Amino acid sequence: MRQSLLAFALISALAACQKAEAPAAPIAAAPATTAADTAEADAKFADLSRRALEGWLQLSPISATQIGEHKYDSEIDDLSAAGRLKGLDFSKQRLAELDAMDVSRLSRENQIDAAILRNQLQYDVWGSETLESWAWDPQVYSGLAGSAVYGLMAREFAPLPERINSAVARMEKLPGLLAQARENLDPARVPQVHAETAARQNSGILSIVDSLITPNLKELPDAERARALKATLALQAAVAEHQQWLDKTLVPNAKGDFRIGQTLYDQKLQFALLSSLSRTEIKQRAEDEIKRVREEMYTVARTVLKDRPNAPAMADTPNAEQQQKTIEAALELAYADRPARDKVVQAAEAALQAATDFVREKDLVTLPDSPVRIITMPEFQRGVSVAYADSPGPLDKGLETFYAVSPIPEEWDDKKVDSFLREYNNRMIHLLSIHEGVPGHYLEGWHSAKFPSTLRAVLRSGPFAEGWAVYTEKMMADAGYMDNDPLFRLVQQKFYLRGVANALLDQGVHVDSWTREQAMDLMVRQTFQQQSEAEGKWTRTQLTSAQLPTYFVGAQEHFDTRKAAEKKLGAAFDLKAYHDQVLSYGAPPVRFARQLMLDQPIQ
């Protein structure tokens, strides 16, 4: 999910408005709270949310488009000093109103939404006043610029001419956004890697115009077509001017540290995860998991290599070198089975179909009835991850989910391509399609969108969403996917280790000042990632913070929740029923899903 902080608050407001129209029955209210008390408190919470909704829609029109509110499709966000102050004051006012409420009187569902809303409002204020990414992260602006047009053109929520005219109106305003970037960004605070990435991404907005708008201008009347051509020329000039500034001013003078440091990291981690696990606990769990999973991988590798010629020595109790060589030798067999350079997207399509068929055959979880389509990742979004799932907004009903796959860059030489395809071999592409598609993000997003709270349906918890996707990888292997192929199990364990490594890498770099060499050792040697994958992750770690741990933390919480449910239900535990139930809560932070499932107090 690539949503602004304001969008979180916007969805919070919309969620409560929807619940005000069809309020859920109070669940397990405290003894001192009557049904009438709860109804009154829920009504006040809904009223706050309705008033907040109107403000947030106006403050974040690009995010509003993404969630399916198209009233402001011709507007863009204002990141000028006055615009930021307006948003900050608005968040503080809503937070003060929320803090004045006695949330213990709310229904259990609204207690959760109030906690999510408070966390996000605090995150919003902290981000504006303390983190100040608007002053040092140029991707804030390139991301908004690309999303402003792409969000209008990617999905057919309205007739094409209407969407083009909205996009043209935004194109006319984008030069102002780029000017705000140049005004706000302080080169002395901008990290070099952020500046270089923004310089590479800058022209991506023009590729969106060229591919999605220009070919369709024939659909417009003459006057509207002339306006669109004029806006295109002006945007081309503005992007060229901004490129000149990026190349000649920002990149040469970018002197900021990409490490945000322990204080900021710990604060951001709490906001981003809303988990009961501390940074220290996350680190200990991750280190323990690497040791445990490597031991399991060694056992599987011995099975794979048994009776094969030239297999390494495989002792019952191996030393570190024997363990390393055995696992690496077994993985080489998986690396040899890989797609052609130009067939990665086709391989992902076939893998998605196979995973869907398997889930249906085993009846593991209720399958979606909404469409999903694999697309080539838009240029302006490349450079951070290899793939992502992009669900439609909660108010855009029946539209496609996009499973975006980044193409192999044309400028890569054969050595780099070979490294990439070793990592994204055919079995890994199956896992990627499980993670992003079925039964991962696409399926989870469909279930989440069915919950009445739009807060949970669209801006679902990152740890819930990413943790669920990681959980499903193991769940599918346990269910016998690919005929219990041991090499698939080995690659699945390797893929899981990537998530574990993410958590260690993120805090290692931003808190413990790891060098590139330390980071590469964790990724390449300890968790068996290919050089190209590790280099990309090193870049991603510099560009982001507190997002990489969501995979591991969320997965740990999902594993823990399932164990608790199995213990509670015993022989009555049913896997499909469990999956459908945990997904029925609209993807709040996993701690809340567990409290709902086990009928525990909301904490």
Domain ranges of the chain: 1-132, 137-255, 344-597
Q: Is the pLDDT of residue 549 over 90?
A: yes
Tokens of 111: 């207690």
Half-sphere exposure of 104 (CA within 13 A, CB side): 5
For residue 420, what pLDDT band results from cuts at 50, 70 and 90? confident
CA distance 137 to 440: 30
Give the pLDDT band of residue 15 (cuts 50, 70, 90).
Answer: very low
In the prediction, which pLDDT does 458 show? 60
Q: Strand, helix or coil at 43?
A: helix
Length of the chain (residues): 603
pLDDT band for position 293 (cuts 50, 70, 90)? very high
pLDDT tops 70 at residue 137: yes
Question: Tens digit of pLDDT for each residue in 497-544?
Answer: 999 999 999 999 999 999 999 999 999 999 999 888 899 899 999 999
Which parts of 165-298 are beta strand (E)? none
More confident residue, 279 or 117: 279
For the cut 50, the answer to whether the pLDDT of residue 329 exceeds it is yes
In the prediction, which pLDDT does 387 show? 82
Which pLDDT score is estimated for 381?
63
- Residue 383 has what pLDDT? 52
220 CB contacts (<8 Å, ≥6 apart)? Answer: 161, 164, 165, 228
Nearest to 240 by CA among 307, 174, 191: 174
Reported as a pLDDT band with limits 50, 70 and 90, residue 326 is very high
Contact present, 566 and 75 (Cβ < 8 Å): no
pLDDT grade for 291, boundaries at 50, 70 and 90: very high
Looking at the predicted structure, is the pLDDT value of residue 380 above 80?
A: no
The pLDDT tens digits of the residues spanning 575-584 come to: 999 999 999 9
Q: Mind giving me the DSSP string for 387-418? A: EEEEPPPTTSTTPPEEEEEPPPPTT--HHHHH
Cβ neighbours, 10 Å, residue 89:
11
The amino acid present at 103, given as its one-letter code, is V
Give the pLDDT confidence score for residue 4 in this predicted structure: 38
- The predicted pLDDT at position 299 comes to 98
Task: DSSP letter for 375, please.
Answer: E
Helix axes of 462-478 and 486-510: crossing angle, nearest 10 degrees: 160
- Taking 50 as the threshold, does the pLDDT of residue 29 lie above it? no
When pLDDT is averaged across residues 287-314 and rounded to a whole number, the result is 96
Mean pLDDT along residues 6-35 = 44
Q: What is the mean pLDDT of residues 157-162?
A: 96
pLDDT score for 398: 80
Model pLDDT for residues 208-228, shown as the tens digit of each residue: 999 999 999 999 999 999 999
Q: Is the pLDDT of residue 25 over 70?
A: no
CA distance 187 to 182: 9
CA-CA distance, 260 to 442, in Å (whole number)?
Answer: 32
- Strands (E) located in 281-423: 372-376, 387-390, 401-405
Residue 460 has a CB neighbour count (10 Å cut-off) of 28
The CA-CA-CA angle for residues 397, 402, 405, to 5°, reads: 175
User: Minimum mean pLDDT among 21-30, 94-103, 352-361: which range?
Assistant: 21-30
Whether 571 and 565 have beta carbons less than 8 Å apart is answered as: no
DSSP string, 438-449: SSSHHHHHHHHH
